[in-house]
A and B are shown apart, each in its own frame.
Chain A
């Protein structure tokens, strides 16, 4: 079993839709959870960062972590064509150590 599982998609939605992206992880010792956005041929860009369980909101983005089920989610409200990218979940046991990434989900938002 891989440490972080993520459905690669692709996922296609119309503009304005609510998008739900999900990952599961296997190691209960993971403490920090991140979502990165990666445009084609570019480096990953940090979107959201949460520590332990709970929700975190930033504009149209909400990150959710459920440590009891080892499940992490990213919700995008009012999706825009500019949100079209690959979204990678990542986790780490201790801050400052190497991240473990999911495979990434490719999202396409059509206008």
Chain B
């Protein structure tokens, strides 16, 4: 089956530092990857759409200079949270759209805690 991995699974960082989260499709090529954020007891909210070789598209209210997205290849997208603050603490989940059939698969998520 299609597998999407995220690294790290959990990270704790100090306020003001930057954190990079990787999303990889392990056994398929992904035309598009999505980044979602989920706060406790809330649903997944789309942050941005990442297409290989082009600039990411951000949802309204998501700061593109704070959440840097790079989609370097058809199997890897990275999300960098710059100058993190405690309010950025959340569960970040990526999904990848399989090129062959447009089915979407989710990663296991990364729990970010900013102290």
Contact = CB atoms under 8 A, between A and B. Distances in A.
A37 B46 CA distance: 18
Highest count of chain A CB atoms <10 Å: which of B32, B43, B46, B95: B43
Contacts of A8: 41
Contacts of A36: 106
A84 to B, nearest CB: 16
Contact of B104 (A42, A99, A104): A99
Contacts of B111: 41
B93 A43 contact: yes
Interface of A is mostly: loop
B53 to A, nearest CB: 16
Interface in A15-73: 36, 41-46, 49
B43 A96 contact: no
Contact of B93 (A44, A46, A102): A44
Given A95-B102, A96-B97, A98-B34, A42 B109 contact: yes
A101 B43 contact: yes
A98 B43 contact: no
Contacts of A44: 44, 93, 106
Nearest to A96: B102
Interface of A: 6, 8, 36, 41-46, 49, 88, 95-96, 98-104
21 contacts: A41-B111, A42-B108, A42-B109, A43-B4, A43-B107, A43-B109, A44-B93, A44-B106, A46-B106, A49-B103, A96-B31, A96-B32, A96-B102, A98-B46, A99-B34, A99-B46, A99-B95, A102-B43, A103-B42, A103-B43, A104-B43
Nearest 6 A/B pairs, CB to CB = A96-B102, A95-B102, A43-B108, A101-B43, A43-B109, A43-B106
